Amino acid sequence: MLLFQPVERVRNGNLMPDKECDYLIIGAGSAGCVLANRLSADGSQQVHVLEAGPMDHKLLIHVPAGVYSVYKDPSINWNYLAESQPEVDDRELELPRGKVIGGSSSINSMVYMRGHPRDYDRWADRPGLSNWSHARCLPYFKRCENSDRGASEWRGGDGPLGVSRGSLQNPLFDALMLAGEQSGQGCSEDLNGYQPEGIARLDRTVHNGRRCSAAVAHLRPALKRANVSLTTRALVERIETTDQRATGATYLYRGKRHTLQARKGVLLCCGAIKSPQLLMLSGIGDSDELAQHDIECKINLPAVGKNLQDHTTINLAFECKKPVTLHTLANPLKKLMVGSQWLINRSGVASSNIWEMGGLVFGNDRVEHPNLQYHFTPVYSEFEGTQIKLFQGYQLNCDQLRPQSRGAVTLRSANPADSPRARFNYLGERYDVFEMIEAFRVMQTLMHQPAFDEFRGARINPSPDVTSDAAIEAWIRQTISTDYHPCGTCRMGEGDDSVVDGDLKVHGIEGLRVIDASVMPEIVSGNLNAPTQMIAEKAADVILGAAPMAAEHPLYHFQ
């Protein structure tokens, strides 16, 4: 069953190799797809997109519940590994990143979360970033969004990105909402709206029962235009520069090397791991780092690859005394029934991203807004290799939203086909250890409210004997993982610690911008897909010289 009609010019491109375009977009991920759509809208700009991965023809990409099957699929995934470090018991942590049109928006868990308004106001407090306040960013979130909640002061109702409120019915979801009230952690009708704090139904990038990736929302509509073309399975080796100006890119395609010229600009949109790698391979980065790999330094920019941030996560899991969990999906007959229902009318459990509830909560009274984020699912799962096993249980994951630890992306070699080194320095700051211990305590409090009494069985993870701070810390170091939100490695700002300015132009070179999660000066308090698309929406206006959208100041309720 074809979800999309094949587009012949997607396969071979409208542009033959070694030709020109106005704007060259490197990376068809969350930001690149938005840019392709916005920059080509009036038909006057020739836009070409280079993507290392394939088209999104795999059916399970588009089935929301298929997330467990796609997010580790090596055919559509860079499958990076974070460098081992003693703070996490010398483990290499898995870091899936999308290698397919739509990028990570095609393999993620589809949670639509913008972060807290105060995150953006902190960005705007930095020199040169006054236009990145929440009031200036909100109109671009709304322009991008088509929410099933409808248009309002806080939400967009007619944008390209389909966003829907979780709707799967399960008594464990009801118990979690009630536990939020009983615990004093609070509840919210809309974490992206009036009250961005408490336990809530989460929004998802799901539209009409199907994943709404950035490729579905932005790139595929753009590809219908004669002025947009795409080359997939194209590995970019370097950005070409002449006289301190980016002029295009050299890439491998079907075993041959090609160069594509960009008349107006090169837009690097490869994410927090790949974007700094490509800058360094192009001679833009720390001169000492480049010299180690015999790369000629064209722009000495020491901040490239630094300031790497991420959300770490821990999870609590309990057996469930009642058979209300989704463990029956492991049954082949049940899988067939659920899959058939989705194919017929895009409904049923397969239309759910499974992680439909969560929250933004306080781990202590020292922070001004929530520093922890929950994701809750009514099933307990474990991976054995690439295979997932489901059990009659439920699971609460908790992210540390604003860690103090910082890492770096560096080169492994000068070979573009080699993955870079990503050392996150997880738990490198003692403060982060304290916050994760607090997170464990807060999670325990929530899970032991009366609302869960009829469901709560034995604690599966961690074992029941983990109770003291010392035991909790040891367990955290043994099991903590990433929630797949790397950012910050091409930070925007004006100082020596930044890579791009407030208009996302790379310092010291003309015609080159970085536009993706790597430009975030500080990680936001939520999932990164929505903010990344907002950044690209805002950047498109800057590139085209359009007047910025007017600032908006709706009322928010903060605890």
By annotation, the residues acting in catalysis are 485
- Torsion (CA) 156, 157, 160, 162 in degrees, nearest 10: 100
Q: Report the distance separating Cα 34 and Cα 24, nearest Å.
A: 13
Coil, helix or strand for 534? Answer: helix
Pick the closest to residue 129 from 525, 493, 534 (CA basis): 493
Residue 198's Cβ-count burial label (10 Å; 0-12, 13-18, 19+) is: buried
Pick the closest to residue 345 from 208, 217, 147, 163 (CA basis): 208
Coil, helix or strand for 361? Answer: strand
Q: Are strands 256-268 and 380-384 parallel, antiparallel or unpaired?
A: unpaired
Name the residue with tokens 């589809």. Answer: 110
DSSP letter for 552, please.
-
**CA 269, chain centre distance (Å):** 13
Phi, psi angle pair for 21, to nearest 5°: -145, 175
Q: Report the distance separating Cα 353 and Cα 340, nearest Å.
A: 17
Residue 164's Cβ-count burial label (10 Å; 0-12, 13-18, 19+) is: buried
Q: Report the distance separating Cα 339 and Cα 344, nearest Å.
A: 9
- Torsion (CA) 126, 132, 138, 140 in degrees, nearest 10: -160
As a whole number of Å, the CA-based R_g of the chain is: 23
Q: Which amino acid belongs to residue 409? A: V
C-alpha distances in Å from residue 481, one per residue of 73, 95, 360, 426: 19, 9, 19, 9
Tokens at 533, concatenated: 């698309």
Q: Look at the alpha carbons of 504, 506, 509, 512 in this order and tell me if their dihedral is positive or negative.
A: negative
Q: Look at the alpha carbons of 80, 82, 88, 90 in this order and tell me if their dihedral is positive or negative.
A: positive
Q: Report the distance separating Cα 79 and Cα 514, nearest Å.
A: 22
